[in-house]
């Protein structure tokens, strides 16, 4: 599975309108709700925030991967965005975040969910890939950079 298979230009927000963590997550959940990736945005938002309360999903290097499982997620879905200014996220390295991937799915998609989290983490660990994603100025530019990173 390629991450680009989970995304469309409508699921990429550059830049976010939101300027703080909870609102950024809400904005990404709403992107999924608009195109049918989730049936109940509030329920999915709560699931993601419950997971966030356990341990921050800010993985370091300005990247966060908030995620959760909910029956309101019809399938494994992803939305992503860039902030115009860094957002505090309680990241593991203490640094604020600019690149946020949201991943949600039903309980039945646990295996693909974990594989997607791992794939995101692996890709953004590479400094040149991270820089290309962070410098995208449009949804199409972001998707092109992600396709290139995935070798698709």
pLDDT at 109: 84
User: Domain range spanning residue 79?
Assistant: 3-150
Neighbours of 81 (CB within 10 A): 23
What do you get for the CA distance between the two ends of the chain, in Å?
11
For every residue of 127-144, DSSP letters joined together read: HHHHHHHHT--SHHHHHH
CATH for 42: 3.40.930.10
Q: Is pTM beyond 0.85 here? A: yes
d(CA 17, CA 13) in angstroms, rounded, equals: 9
> pLDDT by residue for the chain (152 residues), tens digit each?
789 999 999 999 999 989 999 999 999 999 999 888 899 999 999 999 999 999 889 999 999 999 999 999 989 999 999 999 999 999 989 999 999 999 999 988 889 999 999 999 999 999 999 999 999 999 999 999 999 999 86
* Per-residue pLDDT at 14: 96
| pLDDT at res. 152 | 60
Spatial distance between the Cα atoms of 125 and 59, rounded to a whole number of angstroms = 10
β-strand pairing of 67-69 with 97-105 = parallel
pLDDT of residue 35: 81
Q: Are 105 and 74 in contact (CB under 8 A)?
A: no
Q: Are strands 77-87 and 97-105 parallel, antiparallel or unpaired?
A: antiparallel
Residues 6+ apart with CB under 8 A from 9: 139, 140, 143
DSSP-derived secondary structure letter, 72: T
Q: Point out the residues that are catalytic.
A: 67
- What phi, psi does 104 have (nearest 5°)? -135, 150
| Count of domains for the chain | 1
């Amino acid at each position: 599975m390629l991450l680009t298979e989970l995304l469309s230009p409508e699921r990429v927000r550059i830049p976010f309108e939101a300027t703080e963590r909870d609102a950024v997550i809400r904005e990404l959940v709403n992107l999924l709700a608009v195109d049918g990736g989730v049936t109940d945005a509030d329920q999915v938002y709560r699931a993601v925030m419950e997971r966030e309360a356990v341990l921050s999903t800010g993985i370091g290097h300005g990247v966060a991967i908030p995620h959760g499982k909910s029956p309101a997620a019809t399938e494994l879905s992803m939305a992503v965005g860039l902030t115009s200014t860094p957002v505090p996220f309680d990241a593991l390295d203490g640094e604020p975040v600019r690149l946020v991937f949201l991943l949600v799915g039903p309980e039945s998609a646990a295996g693909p969910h974990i594989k997607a989290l791992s794939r995101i983490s692996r890709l953004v660990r590479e400094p040149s890939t991270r820089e290309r994603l962070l410098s995208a100025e449009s949804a199409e530019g972001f998707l092109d950079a992600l396709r290139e990173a995935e070798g698709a």
